[in-house]
Chain A
Amino acid sequence: GENVEQHPSTLSVQEGDSAVIKCTYSDSASNYFPWYKQELGKRPQLIIDIRSNVGEKKDQRIAVTLNKTAKHFSLHITETQPEDSAVYFCAAKVEYGGSQGNLIFGKGTKLSVKP
């Protein structure tokens, strides 16, 4: 089955700096890769996702890159702000035809942005 590894487990940056979180996956059939953000005491929420037919996707200050050959994908946050402080989870799953597999999550990265 799919296995998703996520690094680092904790990340501390200064406000305004960039943050990068990396994930690798094991199942080459996986073709959908979302990122969820969980603020302290709150629910995980989808912030960005990417499908395997593209290599990069951007949404304002966040971007995700995908390297299918190496089976890894990364989340990039630029110009970090204190409100970016949260736990970020990557995930992977296989989408096939009209059906979908289940999301397999990484262990999470606790990002702290210091003012």
Chain B
Amino acid sequence: ETGVTQTPRHLVMGMTNKKSLKCEQHLGHNAMYWYKQSAKKPLELMFVYNFKEQTENNSVPSRFSPECPNSSHLFLHLHTLQPEDSALYLCASSQPGERELFFGEGSRLTVL
């Protein structure tokens, strides 16, 4: 499969659960991103990885923990989330030095 793939597409979890979101890209890109999309808010940049190294943490609470084991995979580990963390989490990739972001279709997270 080509492009940026995110799993799961939908996730419901309790506040005490631990879960992970996965992102995989088959575009040969070396930069990967996590964005949070909430209703009536801008797309919020959470984390940026360039060549597997985290280069941006946009003041994200520690209950969100990213992991980038290689340039093709990106995870977002979730634990003790709050209901206000319910949102669509979008992964994106790009080639460093190029402008276009390629997004996945997102993981819709609901925290009960």
Q: Which chain A residues have a beta carbon within 8 Å of chain B's beta carbons?
A: 4, 6, 9, 32, 34, 36, 41-46, 49, 89, 91, 95, 98, 100, 102-108
Contacts and interface: CB of A to CB of B under 8 A. Distances in A.
Q: Is the interface of A mostly helix, strand, loop or mixed?
A: strand
Given A32-B99, A43-B106, A103-B101, A108 B42 contact: yes
A34 B104 CA distance: 18
Contacts of A106: 42
Contacts of A9: 40
30 contacts: A4-B42, A6-B42, A9-B40, A34-B99, A41-B105, A43-B104, A43-B106, A44-B90, A44-B101, A44-B103, A46-B101, A49-B99, A49-B100, A89-B42, A89-B43, A95-B99, A100-B96, A100-B97, A100-B99, A102-B45, A102-B48, A103-B45, A103-B101, A104-B42, A104-B45, A105-B42, A107-B41, A107-B42, A108-B42, A108-B43
Contacts, number: 47
A102 B97 CA distance: 11
Contacts of A36: 101
A98 B42 contact: no
Interface string B84-102: 0000001000001101110
